[in-house]
A and B are shown apart, each in its own frame.
Chain A
Amino acid sequence: MAKKMKFSIYRYNPEKDAKPYFKDIEVEIGDHDKKLLNALVKIKDDLDDSLSFRRSCREGVCGSDAMSINGRNGLACLTDLADLKEPVVLAPIPGLPVIRDLIVDMTQFFHQYNSIKPYVIDDRPMPERERLQSPEDRKELDGVIECILCACCSTSCPSFWWNPDKFLGPAALLHAYRFLADSRDQATNERLDDLNDPYRLFRCHTIMNCVDVCPKHLNPTKAISRIKETMLARQV
């Protein structure tokens, strides 16, 4: 059954608008339009081609379409329209500069990610085939490697809002943990030294927003406390 749904969407085009504003729009929802992304695509296709947002996979693996949905960060492609209170208020994920409408500048976010050396460091000569890793050691990486770098977590973290240049934020910290936890990585000390900083790691005050919003059900806070434990263990 087709029905109409009301949206209130953050709009800002720097060429035209002195400041951002919210624009109301109604769109017909068809039987196959299950997700918020379906509705946005419909608005863009049928009603207003200037509405700007990122999207690609439409199945929650590419991390493109993070946005603030009725005040809470999430992926449009994984959000059921049926669960949303109307008017559905859509805004860019908070804390990063807005380029246009729902599109934010992610430079800072990726900068933090790159800064934790997000690659396995192992300078030993490689065997001809794969390095061996036990299933138990490999299991340590579950719940971490599924991250799609959508930034839902970091942009819902108050500490990241205040210090996006100094505090790594939950996503980058999750990855910092990912490489500490990988039995193949040989740079544990170096990594811990880098994290042992009043800002990079220790600005996390366990507010847990990040855990609430992660669309992949990951737990950056747990990863952060594991890093802290590892750091403590090293000191004794």
Chain B
Amino acid sequence: MSLPILKFDAVVVGGGGAGLRASLQLSEAGVKTVVLSKVFPTRSHTAAAQGGISASFGNSEEDNWHWHMYDTVKGADWLGDQDAIEFMCKQATDAVAELEHYGMPFDRLDNGKIYQRPFGGHMADFGKKPVRRACAVADRTGHAMLHALYQRNVKAQTHFFVEWMALDLIRDKAGDVVGVTALEMETGQVYIIHAKAVLFATGGSGRIYQASTNAFINTGDGVGMALRAGLPVEDIEFWQFHPTGLAGAGVLITEGVRGEGGYLLNANGERFMERYAPTAKDLASRDVVSRAMQVEINEGRGCGTNKDYVLLKLDHLGADVIDQRLPGIREISIQFLGIDPVKQPIPVVPTCHYMMGGIPTNYKGEVLDGVDEKIVKGFYAAGECACASVHGANRLGTNSLLDLVVFGKSAGNSVIEFVKTMSDHKELPENAGQYSLERMAKLESTTGEKVADVRFAMQVCMQQHASVFRTQKVLDDGVMKMREIYERAKNVVIEDKSTVFNTARVEALEFLNTVEVALATMVAAAARTESRGAHAREDFPDRNDEVWMKHTLYYRDGQKLEYKEVHTEPLTVDYIPPAKRVY
């Protein structure tokens, strides 16, 4: 069957922060671009980001990008690539100033400069004391940023295909990327989008877990598509568990609460973080705080009848500060738990939040294949779906929004350069859309399992076998179970066979991506016998730089693992050598 073909110079898949920053770069440069998004751009999950975006403006006290770089390297537990980290931290002030110029409504200090708040792991003077580096719009920073970026794209007349879902990458014989297949939801029509360059900005995949701060649409499509196209995914065993997900609901309560002076209490009313992180206390790195909470809960000092959560206290900040700086979390807490934080502490638990791993790229946003980092021609990635790698084994809060705009822009620039060198489109391979159509046809079968059932099994398995603390036995069992679930996923079917806006079909196709991410996570986690950042092994409690200071690469074919060097050469400054990580 032949599919209709649409031709563009560049296609951006994803209309979140990373996609919109990239498309802006492309539209302003006059590159013929289309942005595909499963949802209207402002509905992307970047809108949910609360706490802030980091940049060492030093608007409240001395700060500089070297300190920011140091914190990021340390936060990443030395698994980040220091060239990419330098690139990001150095660009931060320009990138955030640019957002301000686009109209992003930052909160302000009395002198008119951007308001900055403390955040976990943000320290002055190479780890000495907390510093105010997180630029914020109350606790709705992501929403403000996403809208400002969308608005700027309206100005630049960016071309959008809204409610289109990319299905598969198209690679030619040489392995170059020459387009994607995509489903227009409203009509059910599948198209081939033939492009000189494809840029993925498809966001995270937090929906592999049962409890997650992520949206329904965060299903790891970009990673799934890359894996199916034979490309590896990097460091996928590293998942950030945010310390303060609303107990029972999963909805996030920003670290900005602790930045503004809130703190955690166990059942004895003890401010336990003082024991785990004497200097940074509640503002230690997220992995550190999440583990401390889990230990408190495991040792019976959790709160509530089931002793299964801890409390986040902020009433001492007073209603004024809460209403000015944290109005959104007050609303969320009342909405979902019926608890007003002005009067009562909020029940919180560590909750799956962020995918540190992703499609391997360099700091220019070019996708890399293999241990020798061969550039995949025509393919770019940025944002949460990519692994540059700046977040290494643990991301610092507010570094993701920064990552979106810095790498969205640099990937956009790389595409502009690449497209210039291509006088014409490379030819599409024969039967370019065949694979996607076959995958879709399978869902139409009359016998098979329901998507919701297999998806639920996956989420339970991930929650039980790849959580905050991990051991070989639990992970090995997890791998076994996930392999079974992966087999079951091959036989999922949908009942609704109609063409117009078939959300059952969309969910099934999403799940086929999500399950790739889940299996990759489990396999990669079972192999890494050390503790580093968010990957905490009870049976291997220490970081082991000699053996494990290397990036994992997972391939779908044979569920194979390879390992590649961490980039130890920053662009201009000295390498920051590994040290013990204390906060």
Contacts and interface: CB of A to CB of B under 8 A. Distances in A.
Interface of A: 13-16, 32, 34, 44-46, 49-50, 52-64, 78, 99-100, 103, 106, 110, 114, 117-120, 126-135, 137-138, 141, 145-146, 148-149, 182, 184-185
B105 A141 contact: yes
Contacts of B152: 119
Contacts of B467: none
B499 interface: yes
Nearest to A147: B147
A49 B504 contact: yes
Contacts of A137: 108
B184 to A, nearest CB: 12
Contact of A184 (B103, B137, B151): B103
Nearest to B495: A49
B335 A56 contact: no
Contacts of B155: 117, 119
B97 interface: yes
B105 A138 contact: yes
A interface majority secondary structure: loop
Nearest to B499: A15
A44 B248 CA distance: 21
A205 B504 CA distance: 41
Which 8 residue pairs are nearest across A and B when measured between Cβ atoms?
A132-B112, A120-B103, A45-B452, A50-B496, A49-B504, A119-B151, A130-B100, A62-B43
B500 A100 contact: yes
B332 interface: yes
A49 B504 CA distance: 6
A55 B113 contact: no
B93 to A, nearest CB: 7
Interface in B125-153: 137, 140, 143-144, 147, 151-152
Contact of A128 (B45, B97, B105, B494): B97
Given A62-B47, A114-B154, A145-B144, A119 B102 contact: yes
A56 B452 CA distance: 16
A117 B503 CA distance: 32
Contacts of B57: 129-130
A60 B335 contact: yes
Interface string B101-127: 111011111111110000000000000
B336 interface: yes
B501 interface: yes
A141 to B, nearest CB: 5
B136 to A, nearest CB: 12
A185 B148 CA distance: 13
Contact of B500 (A15, A78, A133): A15
Contacts of B140: 61, 145-146
Contacts of A119: 102-103, 151-152, 154-155
A149 B150 CA distance: 12
B216 interface: yes
B215 A57 contact: yes
A227 to B, nearest CB: 18
B538 interface: no
20 contacts: A13-B498, A14-B500, A44-B452, A50-B495, A50-B496, A56-B43, A56-B217, A58-B251, A59-B332, A60-B335, A61-B48, A61-B140, A62-B39, A62-B45, A62-B47, A99-B186, A133-B108, A145-B144, A146-B143, A148-B143
Contacts of A14: 500
A55 B216 contact: yes
A129 B103 contact: no
Contacts of A78: 335
A57 B498 contact: no
B285 interface: no
Nearest to A103: B501
Contacts of A133: 106, 108, 112
B494 A118 contact: no
Contacts of A131: 100-101
Contacts of B105: 138, 141, 145, 182
B27 interface: no
Contacts, number: 150
A52 B39 contact: no
A118 B500 contact: no
Nearest to B39: A56
Interface string B140-174: 10011001000110110000000000000000000
B495 A182 contact: no
Q: Report, as a range, how many residues of chain B touch the other chain.
A: 35 or more
B101 A57 contact: no
Nearest to A78: B335
A32 B248 contact: yes
Given A15-B500, A132-B111, 16 more contacts: A44-B452, A49-B494, A49-B495, A50-B496, A58-B216, A59-B335, A60-B335, A62-B47, A62-B215, A63-B43, A100-B501, A119-B151, A126-B97, A129-B113, A132-B108, A135-B108
A45 B492 CA distance: 13
Contacts of A110: 40
A117 B174 CA distance: 45
A126 to B, nearest CB: 5
A99 B452 contact: no
A192 to B, nearest CB: 19
Contacts of B110: 134-135
Q: Point out which of A46, A49, A60, A118 has the most chain B C-beta atoms below 10 A from its C-beta.
A: A49
A127 B217 CA distance: 38
Contacts of A60: 331-332, 335
B501 A134 contact: no
A44 B137 CA distance: 36
Interface string B252-266: 000000000000000
Nearest to B214: A57
Given A120-B102, A130-B113, A132-B111, A149 B248 contact: no
Q: Point out which of A133, A137, A182, A184 has the most chain B C-beta atoms below 10 A from its C-beta.
A: A133
Contacts of B529: none
Contacts of A16: 498
Contacts of B251: 58-59
Contacts of A185: 103
B398 interface: no
Given A62-B45, A62-B47, A119-B152, A134 B112 contact: yes
A65 to B, nearest CB: 10
Nearest to B99: A130
Contacts of B42: 62-63, 148-149
Contacts of B100: 130-131
A87 B439 CA distance: 39
B452 A46 contact: yes
Contact of A182 (B101, B103, B154, B502): B103
A15 B498 contact: yes
Contacts of B40: 106, 110, 149
Interface in B488-521: 494-496, 498-504
Interface in B236-256: 248-249, 251
Contacts of A45: 450, 452
